[in-house]
Amino acid sequence: MFEDIYKNLSNKLNLSKDSVLLTIMDPVDEKSGSISDKLILTGDNLEYDFSSISKDESLNQKIPYSLETGNVQLINTQDEKLVLVEPYFPDPRLIVLGGGHIAKPLVEFGTKLGFSVTVVDDRPSFANSNRFPDADKVICESFENSFNLINISRSDFVVIVTRGHRHDGICLRKSLDCNPAYIGMIGSKRRVKGMKNELLNEGYTEEQLNKLNAPIGLDIGAITPEEIALSIIAQVVSFRRTGRSSLDSKADRKKFNWPEFDSIVIDEMAKGIEEPKALVTIISAKGSVPRKAGAKMIVWGDGRTIGSIGGGCSEASVITTARDVILDKGYVIQHVDMTGDVAEEEGMVCGGIMDVLIESF
């Protein structure tokens, strides 16, 4: 019934559009009911007439909050509807401009931390998949022309580690014009100051140049390529999680919860309903849980699954419920407690609790 919704969601994310998926539920009791509708809104167009869904006018104020914070919300409306608001963001891309000695460990670190990594260099001996087997994409092209191929968006993280001042200048100018989430450039303080003066004389503003992190990385006294790469990726993660460098004051930093995103589950949902299945989504989580809000899993009647909400006996219990929901239709909200004896049994240092939404398809 809603397969086109997930196709639409997948398409929007592939176009680098921040999106919100709304699931509107008609409760029968506190834990179960039916799904009446699903909607997708994008960050550049959040206005929608919700009167056909709910008379609760506060929805228009609450929905943008999810995109601003990354938080999944379950809203109880004034007319006894339940609305699940799920923010979706394109996979974070780490774009490494330059394929030299720092780029190699940087790509490895970025991949391990969940970034989709693209490497660009104009030298075939440096821009090849043998040198960067972990990268999702390796582009051998001039730095100037490469920007037509990578299509930088505001959710991307750009690291400039080319071999020379001229190449750095090209990459920095192009990156500033794209306004990504992060721009970092390697270089000494003297060299960076000279570059900024050049750009100011060309008409770039102080506000634009303040987005540049240079010299790049956190100051950890790094010397080796691996240490420098570690300082860079640490700064990138700080921007990804807080929107600011970890060196900024706490007052200037904002908490942003990147929601869990399982592209394999969305792709499977977009295929349509070939056979009955249940979609499981973590809608809230507290404490030391294996996965956070937004994580998804598909369960089929024969017990097959795609994705995960954390594994262990807690997931097994949800799978059992999901197989019942497939038969009964509608939805169920299940509370999962991983504290105390459950945490000890699964070998956790400490436990947590989470609520999951289980929908039949």
Q: Is 243 left (phi over 0), alpha (psi -120 to 50) or beta?
A: left
Across 24-38, 87-101, 186-200, 247-261, least confident range = 247-261
Characterize the bridge pairing of strands 137-140 and 82-88: unpaired
The proportion of the chain whose per-residue pLDDT surpasses 90, expressed as a percent, equals 58
Whether residue 35 is predicted with pLDDT greater than 90 in this model: the reply is yes
- Domain ranges in the chain are 3-89+259-360, 93-252
Contact 94, 180 (CB under 8 A): no
The CATH classification number of 93-252 equals: 3.40.50.720
Cα of first residue to Cα of last residue in the chain, in angstroms, is: 7
Structure tokens at 52: 């056909």
Query: At which residue do the structure tokens 């008409």 appear?
Result: 203
Q: Is the dihedral of CA 282, 284, 290, 291 positive or negative?
A: positive
pLDDT digits (tens, 9 = 90+) for 210-246: 989 998 999 999 999 999 999 999 999 998 877 654 4
For the whole model, what pTM was predicted? Answer: 0.76
pLDDT digits (tens, 9 = 90+) for 116-162: 999 999 999 999 999 999 999 999 999 999 999 998 887 899 999 99
* Average pLDDT of the chain to the nearest whole number: 87
| The residue count for the chain | 361
Whether residue 201 is predicted with pLDDT greater than 60 in this model: the reply is yes
Determine the pLDDT at residue 242: 73
Query: At which residue do the structure tokens 């102080």 appear?
Result: 206
Q: Which run of H or of E encompasses 333? A: strand 331-337
Determine the pLDDT at residue 349: 47
Determine the pLDDT at residue 254: 53
Contact 99, 132 (CB under 8 A): yes
pLDDT digits (tens, 9 = 90+) for 263-303: 899 999 988 767 899 999 999 998 888 888 999 999 999 99
Whether residue 185 is predicted with pLDDT greater than 90 in this model: the reply is yes
